[in-house]
Amino acid sequence: MAPSNPGTALITGATAGIGATFAHHLARAGQDLVLVARDGERLDAVAAELTGRHSIKATTLVADLTTDEGLAAVERVLREQRIDLLVNNAGLSLNKSFLRSTLEEEMQLMRLNVLAVLHLTDAALPAMLARGSGEIINVSSVSGFAATMPGSTYPASKAWVTSFSEAVGMASRSRGVRVMALCPGFTRTEFHQRAGISTGKMPDFLWLQADDVVEAALRDLRKGKLVSVPSVRYKVAVTALKLTPRSLLHRFSARGASRLGRTVGDSQ
């Protein structure tokens, strides 16, 4: 599906999972790319593949968004180059409860899941608003709609991303700029393996394919939605999360975590 704005897209976390899938979809539609990740070798391989297959321009930027230096490097690109679509995809989850994690681990999660989204959105918006066009997709999660993972701070970080994106989207759309939170459920990517989260006990019907998630995101962005929840089953789940009394939801969440043999989960 083609992006609604031609030009260049910048994607963080672009070498794997949903980020890599965005890169493939946008390159196939003829959009030039700026690919951001920590692994320069993988970045170069993805860029070479996309350039060779789709005849687009794909440049790379090695940056660790949990550091001030990495954030500043990407912010410079967003301020100095024309970027028509920003995809804030990079994120992480801790495979442990807040009761067992360290403050430094929690701060790293916050720096990537929250502060990077804040900084890069702030860097991209002024030029978009000035020219009256531009789009931002902030990848959030269905888990952000309720505290369904006992001990995990990941849902809290994603709740912020969703609320922030929705608020900024409401303020920006009258000026021609679209900002949307993408809230997928469980999606088959490398995310869980990198976080050390076991997925073997999750029922197959809960899983989404990254291609379907990205297609739904681009379709909803074109429609001007502020929040995108891919698939009917997760739309129903979000409605249920919003309507279920908190006391009942907490009871079911605790039982579910115990039954799955884990204290922390993830919904991307």
The structure tokens listed for 126 are: 């002024």
Catalytic residue chosen out of the listed positions 22, 145, 154, 160: 154
| 154 noted as active-site residue | yes
Annotated catalytic residues are 154
